[in-house]
Structure 1
Amino acid sequence: MTKLIIPLSAIPSQQSQVVLDGQQVQFWLRQLATGLYIDLTVNGALVMAGCLCVDRVDLLRGRIPALTGLLYFRDMQGRKDPDYTGLKNRFQFIYEV
């Protein structure tokens, strides 16, 4: 399996884009009181909105045929769900094919 680590910044709200499986993927992460949430578009089409980010849980869950891999956060220091303060170092955002 190939892992791509998507770089993030330790800020409470951020947008970025990356090419995954040849698809243009844009995401928006935002920290709320109840956790870190993501919106995701693939080739300009919204495919996910307000999804809670949980440690080691696939955000895609096979729902997006254009993306065949897994997209998830991984706590590199334990099993905590991600929060914005650790996005630069502690929590990796991974696409794995």
Structure 2
Amino acid sequence: MNVVQIPLAATASQTLNVVLNQQLVRLDVYQRSTGLYLNVWLNDVQVVAGAICQNLNPVVHAEYLGIGGDFVFVDTQGSDDPAYDGLGGRYVLTFMATGT
């Protein structure tokens, strides 16, 4: 299994584009009062909308979407769910590719 760290900034709302498994993936990461959420776009098609981000819990949960892996947030200092102010430091977003 190949693991890639996705660089995030400690801001309440951000969008970034990354190439994963030779596919363009857009990530929208945003903080709400109820937690941190993630939208995932694959080749300009939204495949995940409003997924709650939790420590060590895969975000996508669906191989049939064709992403070829899953996103997982990791708390490097404990076991808390991620919050925007710790992104890129305490909370790290990883992509775990399958089949490689």
Q: Normalized against structure 1, the TM-score is what? A: 0.93
The amino acid across from 1:22 in the alignment is: Q
Partner of residue 55, structure 1? 55
Q: Given the superposition, is the C-alpha separation of residues 64 and 92 from structure 1 closer, same or farther in structure 2, using an over 3 Å criterion? A: farther
Alpha-carbon offset, residue 65 of structure 1 = 3.8
1:18–1:25 CA contact under 8 A, matched in 2: yes
Alpha-carbon offset, residue 70 of structure 1 = 2.3
Unaligned 5+ segments in structure 2 are none
Alpha-carbon offset, residue 63 of structure 1 = 4.2
**Alignment size in residue pairs:** 97
Unaligned 5+ segments in structure 1 are none
Partner of residue 32, structure 1? 32
Aligned-partner Cα distance in 2 for 1:56–1:17 = 22
Partner of residue 94, structure 1? 94
Q: Normalized against structure 2, the TM-score is what? A: 0.91
The amino acid across from 1:52 in the alignment is: I
User: Percent sequence identity over matched residues?
Assistant: 34
